[in-house]
Structures are given as structure tokens and as C-alpha cells.
Amino acid sequence: MPATTREKLADAALRRFYRDGFRNVGIDQVLADVGISKTAFYKHFECKEDLVLLGLERHDVEAQQLFDRVTREVGGPTALGRLHALIDVVEQIIGDEEFRGCVFVNVAIEFPLPHDPAHVAAANSKRAIEKLVCDLATEAGADDPAALAHELCLIMEGAYITRSVGCEGDTIAAARRLARLAIESRCGGRPA
Amino acid sequence: MPATTREKLADAALRRFYRDGFRNVGIDQVLADVGISKTAFYKHFECKEDLVLLGLERHDVEAQQLFDRVTREVGGPTALGRLHALIDVVEQIIGDEEFRGCVFVNVAIEFPLPHDPAHVAAANSKRAIEKLVCDLATEAGADDPAALAHELCLIMEGAYITRSVGCEGDTIAAARRLARLAIESRCGGRPA
DNA sequence: CCTTGGGTGGACTCGTAGTACACCCCCCGC
DNA sequence: GCGGGGGGTGTACTACGAGTCCACCCAAGG
């Protein structure tokens, strides 16, 4: 899919940054991956950090597509089903051999200064996903869609972290159980 | 409390690293904080990263004490009360003006290589906290204490992240609600 | 007394981000 | 046919931060 050199660079860079950390990856490694010279690189990007920006932008699109696709495939036609399927999205993401935490969160933490463009971009992507969840929650008739979305996103974040930083224990089972409790308690689980 | 120069250095360093990120903080800034020369510094530590190790070690002690103290003060004498009070610990932590996420998680992400000593130390601290929670869950008579502990820790992690990376929404309310659901569903909330 | 621990200062190496310059080649449009 | 622009090369450069080295200082204690 990466058509232009610019995109190839951003994708290769984000892969490495994600795996080894921004700090631990030299630009030269990325250049070698793509097979380009430093001079050429700096005609495409102003600085190393800009690789992250474009990388995130592209990853953001992919992530939202993944959410959309998996919730539809697993959750079926109803919004309620799709809400439950959020955990299947999570399961797919953390099931990856190379999973190392949520890309957005990692970037937000590696660029902690609040006004850092990379930090802002990562935070925006997170918010966009919460928005998607909120729309689903609304459609599912939750009593307080924003609150349910916040709860479900909290669970997803928790699952990513719990899985990526030294856990034993069945994270997916925990996440699914919590999500079920949250959804049932907000979506007419008690149709009085 | 920091008695020795070594400890002063580690504490000052961890503060800065936590706030601005390891990458963004020069050793010189830490040296200036403590008022010591570079040469003297390298008589105390082998490298910049070792600051993180000692800093984490000290923070680990503090964090466990905080958990212990707050759960006792807020949760009262019963293990069940203390389990609920976990969220009060979280509330206190994320209520801090300078809160920027969980220190351990941030370090684990800033040092993503699995065998990096800092990564390992951070992961161990996380596990230690889950162990504390598990003990509480056992004492509270949870049907599956390990699972409950995993769920509660997942909620805590989720709360830290959700709060630190660009959220609106009442994170504490969400965490408390999820924790209550989880605890009730595992601790004879339905004494049939 | 003189050794040891903690401290200073300054000059050094080295790795990596980023710049500057001179050059190449291919395609497209005038 | 040719000229210009986009994308590419290589090499040599600056800048900065981590970490080393060396010579030195001073106070406390056996």
C-alpha cells in the first residue's frame, strides 16, 4: 500500500519506533530499510519526528478501519453486538506476536510534552476512537452513551497496557468480563 | 528524605524524566538541580539510565506504601472495603497537578526493549502491585482472586492512561463504577 | 600524616541529528 | 532539442549530548 517514498519512510519508521522506541532507533536504520540516502530523506521530511506524525496519521486510518471491520464482522448488525465486539478488536490487536502496546499511547508517552505535535496527534487519535465507541453506544440505546464509551475505552487501554507490560493472567478474559458488565449495566440489562 | 547524593540525584532525575521524558532531559539539567558536577555524577552512577533504576526502586517503595496507607484509611478494616478503596488510591494519584501517567508504565514504554533493566524493573513493580491486590482479593473471599486482581489492575491502568492521554470525561467515575461491578460480581455480591 | 571519599573544572571522544554542496538522471513540456 | 524540476547520490560538515580522562581540592579519621 505504501505508494510514495514518503509513505514508505513513515511506515518503516513507525514500525521500528514502535518496536524499539523512538530514542533507540537511528534514522540510518530507517534509511537502510527503505534504501535511501540521508540527503534524499531530508528532502521528504524536516526532521525525525515528522516521520512519527505521518506514521501516526496512516496508522490512525488503519486502526479506525480495523475497528469498523471487526466490530461489524464479529458483532453483527446490531449496535449492541458491535459494542461487545470491541473486545474482539482488542483481542486481535494484542494477539499479534509483535504487539507492544497501543501505538498512540506509546507515542504519547515517548513525546510527553503536551504541545509536542506527536503527542497531540496521538491524543487526537485516541479521542477519535472514543468518539466511534460513543456513537455505537448511542445507537445501542445506552442510558449514558458518553459514560459507557469512556468506560469501554478505559477497559481497552487497560487491556493494552496490562498485556504489554509484564503480565501473566488472561487479559482478554478480564477485559471481556468487564466490558460485559459495563455494557449490560448501561444498555437495559435490566429492562424494568 | 533523600539522604545521600546518590538518592538526591535519582529523585531529581526521575522527576524530570517523568515530566519531560527521558530523551528530552539532559544529564546537565539533573546535575544543575542537585548542584553537582558531571565528574562527580559519574562517580555515583555508571550511566544516565542507572538513574532511572534507582529512581524506580525508590518510587516502588513509596507507591506500595501509598497503596497500603490509603486503602487502610479509606477502606477501613475489611478487605472488601480496601478493595473498593483502590480507586481512591487511583483518584489521589491522578488528582495530582503534575500527573503524567503511571511512572512504571511510562518507563516501560520509554525503554521498550524487553531485556532492558529499566523495562524489567518497571514490569516487576507492576507485578508487585498486582500481587498486593491479589492478596486483598483473597482476603475478601473473592471467588477467583487472581482474576479479580487482574481485572482491578486493568481498570487502574486504564484509568491512568485514559486520564493522561487527552481525555475529557470523568475517568474516576468510570473507574469506580467498573471496579464496583467487578468486585460485586466476584465477592458474593449475590449471596444466593 | 597521609589516605580515602566526595567534590571541582576543563578538555577530550564519539554517536547521531541535521546541513551544505556538488552532482546525477530521467521525464515532461515548450 | 533542450531546459527545468523532482528525486536521487555521496561526502564533508556542524551541533549537541553522553560519557571519559586527568589534575586537582579539601575535609575527616585511623
Q: Provide mean pLDDT across the span A80-91.
A: 98
**pLDDT tens-digit map of A90-147:** 999 999 999 999 999 999 999 999 999 999 999 999 999 999 999 999 999 999 999 9
Rounded CA-CA distance B31/B44 in Å is 12
The answer to whether residues A126 and B165 touch, using CB atoms and an 8 Å cutoff, is yes
Of the candidates B89, B187, B87, B189, the one whose C-alpha atom is nearest the C-alpha of residue B139 is B187
Q: Give mean pLDDT, residues A171-180.
A: 98
A112–B106 C-beta distance less than 8 A: yes
DSSP letter assigned to residue B30? H
Nearest-Cα distance to chain B for A171, in Å, is 7
Q: How far is A108 from chain B (nearest CA, A)?
A: 7
CA of B96 to C1' of C30 (A): 67
Q: Using the beta-carbon criterion (under 8 Å), do B147 and A126 form an inter-chain contact? A: no
A160-164, A185-189, B8-12, B169-173: which has the minimum mean pLDDT? A185-189
C1’ C19 / CA A132, Å: 44
Q: Where do we find the cell 513513515?
A: A10
Interface size, chain A vs chain B, as Cβ–Cβ contacts under 8 Å: 169
Chain A: residue whose CA lies nearest to B129:
A167
Cα(A54)–Cα(A11) distance, rounded to whole angstroms? 8
Kindly report the nearest CA distance between residue A167 and chain B, in angstroms.
7
- Between helix B5-20 and helix B103-110 the angle, nearest 10°, is 80
Amino acid A27 CA to nucleotide C20 C1' distance, rounded Å: 19
Contacts A146 to B, Cβ<8 Å: 169
Contacts of strand C, CB cut-off 7 Å? Answer: A 25-28, 38-39, 42, 46-49; B 5, 35-40, 43-44
Q: Tell me the per-residue pLDDT of A38-69, one tens digit each, with 9 for 90 and over.
A: 999 999 999 999 999 999 999 999 999 999 99
Give yes or no for residue B190 having a pLDDT over 80: no
Over residues B31-59, the pLDDT tens digits come to: 999 999 999 999 999 999 999 999 999 99
Going A141 to A63 to A90 to B129, the CA torsion angle's sign is: negative
CA/C1' separation A121–C5 (Å): 50
The whole-angstrom distance between B68's CA and the closest CA on chain A is 21
Mean pLDDT, residues B101-109 taken together? 98
Q: Which residues contact B121 (CB under 8 A, 6 or more apart)?
A: B52, B53, B56, B57, B60, B107
Biggest alpha carbon–alpha carbon distance for chain B: 68
pTM as predicted: 0.95
Say whether pLDDT at B75 is over 90: yes
Chain D, protein-covered positions (CB within 7 A): 7-12, 16-23
> Cα A173 to the chain's mean position, in Å?
20
> Is the Cβ pair B151, A170 closer than 8 Å?
no
Question: Alpha helix locations (H) across chain A?
Answer: 5-20, 27-34, 38-44, 48-75, 79-95, 103-110, 117-139, 145-164, 171-186
Across the range B87-96, mean pLDDT stands at 97
B106 contacts A166? CB cut-off 8 A: no
Distance CA B107, CA A66 (A): 29
| Beta carbons of B12 and B30 less than 8 angstroms apart | yes
pLDDT of residue A3: 77
Q: Which of A110, A164, A175 sits opposite B154 (nearest CB)?
A: A175
Instruction: Provide the pLDDT for residue B63.
Output: 97
Q: What is the mean pLDDT of residues B63-67?
A: 97
Q: What percent of chain A has pLDDT over 90?
A: 94
Q: CB-CB: which of B164, B167, B181 is closest to A185?
A: B181
CA of A40 to C1' of C22 (A): 14
Closest nucleotide to A51's CA, by C1' atom? C17
Q: Smallest Cα–Cα separation from B5: which of B33, B37, B42, B44?
A: B44
On the question of pLDDT at B191 being above 90, the answer is no
Cα first-last separation, chain A? 51
Concatenating the DSSP letter of every residue in A102-122 gives -HHHHHHHHS-STT-HHHHHH
